[in-house]
Chain A
Amino acid sequence: MTQLSSTDTDATTDAGAEADELREAWAARLADALGDGYAEHHIIPGGDLWVRVTRDSWTDAATAARDQLGCQFFDWLSAIDWLPSPYGRDMDAQEDNPEPKAADPMEQGHAGGQTRFQMVVRLYSITEHMGVTIKADLPKDDLSIDTLIQVYAGADWHEREAWEMFGIHFNSHPDLRHIYLPGEFEGNPLRKDFPLLARRVKPWPGIVDVELFPGEEGP
């Protein structure tokens, strides 16, 4: 596996601008490979690269990242529920809202998006020492997306986790069943509208765990 080795370590130390150029190049190559399937990207200089693709080009994006960008390493896969928590605590309250309130408008993060549920997968190149976070929007009425197992075998368990935690269906996943929760569990715990029941029973005392100095303003 000599092609996987990177014996020279000096090249990566003067990161900065060079790394950002590479991020730009990666985004451009993904845009070329995906065409209409490419939505937008976001680069934080010296930080990271986010790319958003359409749901239909999800597997194509992963394949392009693996074959064209050299991202052989499957880092992780998950989802984000952008719904502001209807049970969320008001800043100074000691407990969550007992009754769900009307949700605030949604605000998606880097690389934008329109829908409540977004898929996130992070892939990494062990030769360039750089990763890319790929996102895809899932429409409200059809929470399903193609599986990545054919591209990365490791996606199997991560997709099972996303399935039970968010209720996202992975098309042609061979074995979609619970991984952490008991088989008869109902609901999708990581959705924002799934209440954390422990908080109903006993309020959490520690939202502001710093005692203020006299005269100091609160949060």
Chain B
Amino acid sequence: MTAVGADQRQQMAYVATQAADARLNVEIETEGMTLNIGPQHPATHGTLRLVARLDGEQVVEAEPIMGYMHRGYEKLAEVRTYPQVTTLINRIDWLGSFANEVPFILAAEKLMEVEAPPRAQWIRTALFELSRIANITLFLGDMAVQLGALTPVFMAFRDREFVLNQIEAATGGRFHPNFDRIGGLKDDLPQGWIDDTKQAMEKMRDFCDEFEELVLGNEIFQARSRGIGIVPAEVGLAYGLSGANIRASGVDWDLRRDGHEALAYDQVDWKVWTHPDGDSFARYWVRLQETREATHIVDQLLDGLPSGPIMAKVPRIIKVPAGEAYAATENPLGEMGYYVVSKGDLVPFRVKIRSASFSNISITPWLLKGVYVPDIITILASLYFILGDIDR
């Protein structure tokens, strides 16, 4: 570097003041633009509002604003009996409802020191994976539609029906099954359900294969998602990112394999998928592989389904002994957990709901800094959130 003379320095200072003055004088015209995305934007899956301050095409600062759908489940759970709470928490992640019930029931079972019989655990796990498939299928179509490909979302809605029909056949509800009970399940499986489900899984595998070519193989999709919104593993972990979002950053962690909850995942042969890139493409890729893996898990669970009762012995009126317990499972969107504090009453004393999307989306102010406007949509779509899971 060359030395700067005194007069030159003076000149530079003069230019700098002039420039600052000029900025001041025309501030009204050149100030960055504020762009409001949502609350009613297709990319927001409900009512997330994003306020982005732009400098040209670049984001200076982006701030998600939520609460448009806050329902206060933590407060409401304090005045409902344990079996009644599941009807509320069904509506947290509304695309994979059954998966919401399981961690709460597991936390309550921990406090009561009961464990569901093996058959109930296996069916629970199978329904859990069916919820995952139903949920992620929609993501696979939805992210494509946000990147400008309209067809995949229709295919996703069409093929998701195969899974939803099976969930409905077993539980009676397409979206809000309310099927899990403390100590087991409400009912056993209906006749012929296993064969039908296996056929549905076959169709879902075809769906995954088709999407692998149609979306992942698409040049435009790749150009718009590769290298966009890269999440380094350490940053993601500090923000509490979980599920496919963190596995797409190369972290080999999955609560289905690494958690210690009473589910049947250790009885079947399956694999955790990770991707080293950490970008939007990787997140899509991991979810697609997971959906296919889930169909294999369901197949194996249904093949090896043990016989026996589906309910453990629990009192008809459930009073949960005093204590605290935390149970978390690997839900379609990431780690979902319930911290339940009981005082030995019919109702929980305090329920803290740890929902995946809230933590997943909390990285957006960091992640959206400096990206271009079209990439906001890519990143939001690839992080994949459900508004009910953010607002609770």
Contacts and interface: CB of A to CB of B under 8 A. Distances in A.
A76 interface: yes
Contacts of A73: 237, 240, 242, 253
Provide the main secondary structure of the chain A interface.
Answer: loop
Contacts of A216: 316
Contact of A126 (B74, B253, B325): B253
Interface stretch (B33-41, B186-194, B202-210, B354-362): B354-362
B92 interface: no
B239 A154 contact: yes
B234 A120 contact: no
Interface in B316-368: 316-317, 319, 322-326, 328, 335, 337, 339, 341, 343, 345-347, 350, 352, 354, 358-359, 362-363, 366
B323 A75 contact: no
Nearest to B255: A129
Contacts of B253: 4, 6, 73, 126, 129
A120 B352 contact: yes
B42 interface: no
B323 A12 contact: no
A1 B253 CA distance: 12
Contacts of B324: 50, 109-110, 133
Contacts of A5: 250-252, 274
A152 B362 CA distance: 12
B82 to A, nearest CB: 11
B23 interface: no
A182 B359 contact: no
B234 A72 contact: yes
B104 to A, nearest CB: 15
Contacts of A189: 72, 75
B235 interface: yes
Interface residues of B, number: 60
B234 A181 contact: no
Contact of B358 (A122, A157, A181, A209): A157
A4 B252 contact: yes
Given A78-B352, A156-B362, A179-B66, A72 B326 contact: no
Given A89-B79, A189-B75, A4 B358 contact: no
Contacts of A154: 238-240, 359, 362-363
Given A179-B67, A180-B67, A207-B346, A109 B323 contact: yes
A210 interface: yes
B369 to A, nearest CB: 13
A75 B337 contact: yes
B236 to A, nearest CB: 9
A131 B326 CA distance: 10
Nearest to A189: B75
B158 interface: no
B161 to A, nearest CB: 32
Given A47-B110, A126-B237, A180-B391, A133 B366 contact: no
B237 A6 contact: no
A190 B72 CA distance: 9
Interface in B30-59: none
Contacts of A209: 81, 83-84
B205 to A, nearest CB: 24
Contacts of B319: 219
A181 B75 CA distance: 14
A204 B84 CA distance: 12
Contact of B260 (A9, A15, A178): A15
23 contacts: A1-B250, A4-B233, A4-B251, A4-B253, A5-B274, A6-B252, A12-B258, A50-B324, A73-B237, A73-B240, A75-B335, A76-B337, A81-B350, A91-B346, A129-B259, A154-B239, A157-B362, A179-B66, A196-B76, A206-B80, A206-B81, A208-B346, A219-B346
Interface of A: 1, 4-7, 9, 12-13, 15, 19, 47-48, 50, 72-76, 78, 80-81, 84-85, 89, 91, 96, 107, 109-110, 120, 122, 126, 129, 131, 133, 152-154, 156-157, 165, 178-182, 189-190, 196, 199, 204, 206-210, 216, 218-219
Given A129-B253, A152-B238, 4 more contacts: A107-B343, A109-B322, A179-B67, A204-B80
Interface of B: 66-67, 70, 72, 74-76, 78-81, 83-84, 110, 233-235, 237-240, 242, 249-253, 257-260, 266, 274, 276, 316-317, 319, 322-326, 328, 335, 337, 339, 341, 343, 345-347, 350, 352, 354, 358-359, 362-363, 366, 391
